[in-house]
Amino acid sequence: MPKSLLIISRQAPWSGPSAREALDIVLAGGAFDLPIGLLFLDDGVFQLAPRQNAKAVQQKDLSANLQALGLFGIEDVYVCGDSAMARGLVPTALSLDPLHVLAAEQISAVIDRYDQVITL
């Protein structure tokens, strides 16, 4: 049985390549039917903000990659509700569904469910 993998995405979508790389890893894992999860934490929650304008910062839009998660069988997608609220985002209004909203104290339990964890 393949080992499970959790990707923790902690970077804002336009602060560098980390956000895109995290999504690429998750989508690749999903393409190979690996048990994989994705957690948006800290500034990574900005990837889920609605109505982003990627062209304004001359970047590619990540929303298509986010919407493809379900097509690749990625169902374990989490967001830290505390991180979202601290950045002025309402967790229930984020642009991805389904999305499991976690309180900060729940995150360690989710991390413990996975065999390997990569933070970007």
Is it true that domain 5-119 has CATH number 3.40.1260.10?
A: yes
Domain ranges for the chain: 5-119
CB 6 within 8 A of CB 111: yes
User: Look-up: residue for tokens 């002025």?
Assistant: 88
Q: pTM for the whole thing?
A: 0.90
Identity of the amino acid at 34: L
Q: Would you place residue 56 in the very low, low, confident or very high pLDDT band (cuts 50, 70, 90)?
A: very low
The more confident residue out of 17 and 105 is 105
| 5-14, 27-36, 63-72, 81-90: least confidently modelled range | 63-72
Torsion angle in degrees (nearest 10) through CA of 92, 66, 108, 41: -70
